[in-house]
Amino acid sequence: MSIYKVSVSTGRQVCAETTDSIYLMLLNSKNQNSKKTLVDQSFISTFEKEIYFDILVKKDLGDIVQVKLEKKNHLVNNPWFCKDIKVKTPSGKCFEFPCYCWLLNDNQVIIREGTARLPQDDIIKQRQNELESRQKTFRWNEWSPGFPESIDAKMGELPKDVQFDEEKDSDFKGNFFKAIQALNIDKVDGGSDSWKDISDFKKILAHYDIKNTLLDNVMQDWNKDYMFGYQFLNGCNPVMIRKCMKLPDKFPVTHEMVKGCLKKGSTLQEELQAGNIYIVDYEILNGVPAASSERHLTAPICLLYKNELDQIVPIAIQLSQTPGEMSPIFLPRDNKYDWMLAKMWVRSSDILVHQLVTHLLKTHLLSEVFEMAMYRQLSAVHPVYKLLMPHVRFTIAINAEAREMLIGEDGVFIKVSSINGAGMGKLIQNAMKTLTYESLCFPEDIKARGMEDVPKYYYRDDGKMVWEAIHCFVSAVVKIYYDSDEAVQKDVEIQEFVKDVACFGMNNSDNFPKSLSSREQLVEYLTAVIFTASAQHAAVNFGQFDWYGWIPNSPSTMRKPPPQQKGQVDLKYIMESLPDRECSSSALGTVWALSQTQKNELYLGTYPDMYFTEQPAKEAIKTFQHNLDEVTNIIKSRNEKLTLHYCYLSPDKIPNSVAI
């Protein structure tokens, strides 16, 4: 008799155990197998658990290449989560079988030995069967015309393996419950009434436990031009600003208009040529219908200047894309309420583009496209599958929640913003026309916007360090498994993965590659995928309460149309333009809930689920973690010298995936 020593681990998740019977069978490369062995019948525990047992076989099976798990229901079907399985052969060899999946109903699953393999070096039929099964589960669906495609399932229909675990579900629902409680209090306190004064907005902040120095600074300086400009560099939407070398015809700013804002003796043309002029253009909002006659939106253009203090400050604002008498260019020297309201309109437009384009489309929806293509086209033993798995955790689930709670017909976003379902669709369609793969590559995006040398652009500085750390990690992993460019070209799964993203997920977009031909291209592509899901999402998500917590700084809607003449605005008009009490409370509660991380969040480079079993890949992970620690320390040291800390791209604050 030969003895195989086996250990089976359940996951960290609450209720990962079962009272059903779990059986296990070992298989070798010749498909010879051991007898079906009962693992355990008493998995009733809320903690991680490891079961040890021996399997006796009459004849030594040699190396084990597969393990079959089978679940048999008793009175009630209890899902069972398997973390991993380890097998020690009679000769002393050890084999690892990463699983990380749920068994449901009377079901069985075959788990392959954990060594990562490319399809050209493996049993093709086995992989094809696996992928055909997954493609039936992960089906593409057009949720709304013009949107990237997503999973064909609502929240309650999602595959168990991509649903929230109980801890995440409790955190997520608990945060929204707190926000709803605060909203209900404010309904009693004022409902749809307008606020009387700017300072009144402090009342709704009383419902939140605020220990936030940055928000305090925003509340104090929100109306100062330096703070307005700073947000284009380091606020929630730091991707809109670009260098302006020539003014567009639709924005006829003259030297006479702005000379008081420029360096003494300098002309506007000279400052343009010197690279000191920047522009933010919300043309993407042009033609997008407003939600109603009581909620308004426009497509402003804002000109900014890098002054002698190295501050980025606004020097001209036009509240439409069409110049003329009915669309004056507002200036800092205008009536203080004219200038205040013009800046509010820019900030209100910015929050719309940020939430629906920068945040929703370019992180959430794109990450779901990558996740869907991964499940559909990459076998579980593919090294890229193993690489990406930590970076898709809960993404499909959070997006399914968003489609129901936030951006659906009865969602929160439509209730608090100036845009309805039709307008949302139009905006996403506009954004999809200009969305390119290159824009996901951080260094390329910075260069394309001419933002390489602007001072105090911490989003750029920190993003470059994080991009480089991810790039080095991905490069190390790719070199382990691909020995040449030809290996990339012959990898049918990776080619189908990239094709699925472009042709299905991105609606047959010509702006995304449909194939990859070199290791360098593969490294850049995978770096962009991981950076989008982790760093880019963190940069545009977790500052929402900091910058949007003070409603006058970023109004989610405007209740009066933009002024068409100067000198017509007073404080009363502004208060009647800003969101009412109920809308303010809803917007505040939403951004607070969306800014909360999970209690046991997994931050960038933290991989408790070890999909890789080979030592070189594990060493690459250790090096990655070391590099991230160095970046964290550099950012921490820099922030100690700043009044306004920039922490969103500190690796110790970047979750691995889009999960909130």
pLDDT, mean of residues 234-258: 98
- For residues 594-622, average pLDDT: 94
Q: What is the pLDDT of residue 158?
A: 97
Q: Show the tokens assigned to 464.
A: 């470059």
Q: What is the mean pLDDT of the segment spanning 364-385?
A: 98
8-state DSSP, 155? G
Q: Is the pLDDT of residue 41 over 60?
A: no
Give the chain's radius of gyration (CA, Å). Answer: 27
Residue 44 has pLDDT above 50, yes or no: no
pLDDT at 42 over 70: no
- Give me the pLDDT at residue 183, please: 59
Q: Give the pLDDT confidence score for residue 123 in this predicted structure.
A: 86
SS3 543: coil
pLDDT band for position 43 (50/70/90)? very low
* Nearest Cα residue to 567 out of 330, 345, 406: 330
Q: What is the pLDDT of residue 188?
A: 44
- In this prediction, residue 16 has a pLDDT band, given cuts at 50, 70 and 90, of low
Question: Which pLDDT belongs to residue 619?
Answer: 98
> By three-state DSSP, how is residue 563 classified?
coil
Poorest-pLDDT segment among 197-206, 300-309, 427-436? 197-206
In 3D, which of 437, 468, 445 has the Cα closest to residue 366?
Answer: 437
Range with lowest mean pLDDT among 164-173, 279-288, 411-420, 487-496: 164-173
- The alpha carbon dihedral of 650, 655, 657, 658 has a sign of negative
Using pLDDT thresholds of 50, 70 and 90, give the confidence band for residue 23: very high
Residue 46: pLDDT band with limits 50, 70, 90: very low
Mean pLDDT across 187-203:
79
pLDDT digits (tens, 9 = 90+) for 203-240: 999 878 777 689 999 999 999 999 999 999 999 999 99
Confidence of residue 250 (pLDDT cuts 50, 70, 90): very high
**Separation between Cα atoms, residue 660 and residue 655, nearest integer Å:** 10
Of 79-83, 543-547, 617-621, the poorest mean pLDDT is in 79-83
Q: Is the per-residue pLDDT at 5 higher than 60?
A: yes
Whether residue 182 is predicted with pLDDT greater than 90 in this model: the reply is: no
Q: Which two three-digit tokens encode residue 650?
A: 């500190």
Determine what percent of the chain is predicted with pLDDT higher than 70: 95
What is the distance between the alpha carbons of residues 561 and 541, in angstroms, rounded to a whole number?
A: 28
Task: Tell me how far apart the alpha carbons of residues 385 and 378 are, in angstroms, rounded to a whole number.
Answer: 6
Residue for token pair 């992970």 = 621
